[in-house]
Amino acid sequence: MSAIEITAHDIETAIKIGLAQLNLLRAETKIEVLDEGSKGVLGIGVKPARVRLTPFAEAESKAPATAAQIDAAAEPEADANESTAAVAEGPVDIAAEDESEAAPQGEAEYAGTKPGLSDESVQLAATLAQGVVDRMDLAVTCASRLVQPQGENESFSVWVDIQGRDASRLLAHQCEALDALQLVVQSMWSHQTKSNLRVTLDADRYKERREQRIQQMAQRLAERVVSSGRAITLEPMPASERRLVHIALRDHPQVTTESHGEGSDRRITIKLK
């Protein structure tokens, strides 16, 4: 699959169009901003943004990594004062590294034991979500369930499935409406139940399918690292998606994962153990 160049009114839109054309996730491509573009003044001097997206397989075949580059990617400088800094060797402590970023403010850890939540408390999340979407005049229905931890260091969470004719409207503009709705429901649910568990809202199984795709991508990239012997550093990802990569590969017999960087530039490196 060859690299493509995309032009759009802004960088993020160009990237989104390119990923759709390649049918790849952001983490599976190398993204280069060729021109940041310009909004101009009063419609004068408007210049579109231009980006190049190169699938990892294509990028690697054209520019093999040197030993020094591999070492640099695999051994990022750790910040001794940062509690979430990646360690130089060994598997990442997923709960310590990414949970604080992925969870809403004030979320506590309930690893290993089932929270003392009644069925009514779990269903309350769906009731609250339904109340908000009804006021938004969306033709959808909400149902909630308690989600089991994926590992011994993971916590329970509450998942709200939103289905119906208008569910896709919550996914527009990079899921801004769904994210805002989740924040509102999380706040109301936590206040009423006095629980700090995470509440996740999903529409048309978008997040569920994306989680599966990210974990499948992680396995494919791990196979590529094993076959080539070279580390792969992914494009920056949200904390929740980085965490999925860590989880997918934490029991892999031949590779390990590390996070490095700060803020929106934080990314994962997959390398041989």
| Residue 144 belongs to domain with CATH number | 3.30.300.20
Query: Could you report how far apart the first and last alpha carbons of the chain are, in Å?
Result: 29
Tell me the percentage of the chain whose pLDDT exceeds 90: 46
Highest mean pLDDT among 8-12, 36-40, 94-98: 8-12
pLDDT at 82 over 60: no
Indicate the pTM of the whole model: 0.62
- How far apart CA 132 and CA 143 sit, in angstroms, is 14
Residue 188 is predicted with a pLDDT of 96
Write the CB contacts of 62 (distance below 8 Å, at least 6 apart in sequence).
none
Sequence-distant (6+) residues with CB within 8 A of 177 are 169, 170, 171
Average pLDDT over residues 204-223: 92
Total domains in the chain come to: 2
Per the domain annotation, does 16 fall within a domain? yes
Task: Determine the pLDDT at residue 174.
Answer: 76
More confident residue, 163 or 61: 163
| Shared domain check, 196 and 126 | yes
Q: Assess if residue 244 is contained within a domain.
A: no
More confident residue, 107 or 132: 132
Residue 150 maps to a domain: yes
Mean pLDDT (whole number) for 8-25: 86
Task: Examine the domain organization and report whether 54 and 130 are in the same domain.
Answer: no
Among the candidates 205, 221, 250, a domain finishes at 205
| Residue 101 confidence (pLDDT) above 50 | no
Mean pLDDT of 66-76: 38
Q: What pLDDT score was predicted for residue 189?
A: 96
Q: Tell me: do 113 and 179 sit in the same domain.
A: yes
Tell whether 134 is covered by a domain.
Answer: yes
Write out the chain in H/E/C secondary structure: CCCEEEEECCHHHHHHHHHHHHCCCHHHEEEEEEECCECCECCECCECEEEEEEEHHHHHHHCCCCHHHHHHHHCCCCCCCCCCCCCCCCCCCHHHHHHHHHCCCCCCCCECCCCCCCHHHHHHHHHHHHHHHHHCCCCEEEEEEEECCCCCCCECEEEEEEEECCHHHHHHHHHHHHHHHHHHHHHHHHHHHCCCCEEEEEECCHHHHHHHHHHHHHHHHHHHHHHHCCCEECCCCCHHHHHHHHHHHCCCCCEEEEEECCHHHCEEEEEEC
128 contacts: CB under 8 Å, gap ≥ 6:
185, 188, 189, 192
In this structure, the answer to whether residues 186 and 111 fall within a common structural domain is yes
In a domain, 220, yes or no: no
Is 234 a domain residue? no
Give the pLDDT confidence score for residue 152 in this predicted structure.
Answer: 63
Instruction: Examine the domain organization and report whether 34 and 116 are in the same domain.
Output: no
Residue 113 and residue 57 in one domain: no
Q: How confident is the model at residue 44 (pLDDT cuts 50, 70, 90)?
A: confident
Based on the fold, state whether residues 111 and 199 are members of the same structural domain: yes
Q: Which of 150, 180, 205 marks a domain boundary?
A: 205
In a domain, 76, yes or no: no
Let me know how long the chain is.
273
Q: Convert the pLDDT of each residue in 262-273 to its tens digit.
A: 888 899 999 999
Is it the case that residue 111 has pLDDT exceeding 50? no
Distance CA 127, CA 89 (A): 46
Q: Sign of the C-alpha dihedral, residues 215, 151, 243, 228?
A: negative
Q: Are 158 and 147 in contact (CB under 8 A)?
A: yes
Q: Are 102 and 243 in contact (CB under 8 A)?
A: yes
With a cut of 70, say whether residue 215 has pLDDT above it. Answer: yes
Q: Would you say residue 84 has pLDDT above 60? A: no
Question: Would you say residue 247 has pLDDT above 70?
Answer: yes
**pLDDT > 90? residue 226:** yes
Looking at residue 98, its pLDDT comes to: 45
Contact status, residue 98 vs residue 153, Cβ threshold 8 Å: no
The answer on pLDDT for 77 being more than 70 is no
Q: Which of 54-63, 86-95, 96-105 has the highest mean pLDDT?
A: 54-63
Q: How confident is the model at residue 204 (pLDDT cuts 50, 70, 90)?
A: very high
Same domain, 55 and 108: no
The residue range of the domain holding 157 is 104-205
Nearest to 240 by CA among 223, 222, 259, 255: 259
Supply the mean pLDDT for the chain. 79
Of the ranges 70-79, 150-159, 166-175, 182-191, which one carries the lowest mean pLDDT score?
Answer: 70-79
Of 190, 205, 220, the residue at which a domain comes to its end is 205
Could you tell me if 116 and 200 lie in one domain? Answer: yes
Tell me, yes or no, whether 85 lies in a domain: no
